[in-house]
Amino acid sequence: MHDWQDDKCISILKNIVMAMDPERSRILIDDFVVPDKKVDWLTACLDLCMWLFFSGVERTMPQWQELFDAAGLEVVRVHCTTVSRSKVIELRKRLEA
Domain coordinates of the chain in residue numbers? 6-93
Burial of 68 (0-12, 13-18, 19+ CB in 10 A): buried
The CA R_g of the chain, rounded to the nearest whole Å, is: 14
What is the DSSP annotation of 49-68?
HHHHHHS---EEHHHHHHHH
Cβ atoms of 32 and 43 closer than 8 Å: yes
Which pLDDT does position 34 carry in this prediction?
A: 84
Indicate which residue of 2, 59, 92, 93 is catalytic. 2
Is residue 97 predicted with pLDDT exceeding 50? no
Which CATH number applies to 6-93? Answer: 3.40.50.150
Is 79 designated active site?
no
- CA-to-CA distance for 97 and 94, rounded, in angstroms? 9
Quick: pLDDT tens for 63-95: 999 999 999 999 999 999 888 778 999 999 998
Cβ atoms of 89 and 75 closer than 8 Å: yes
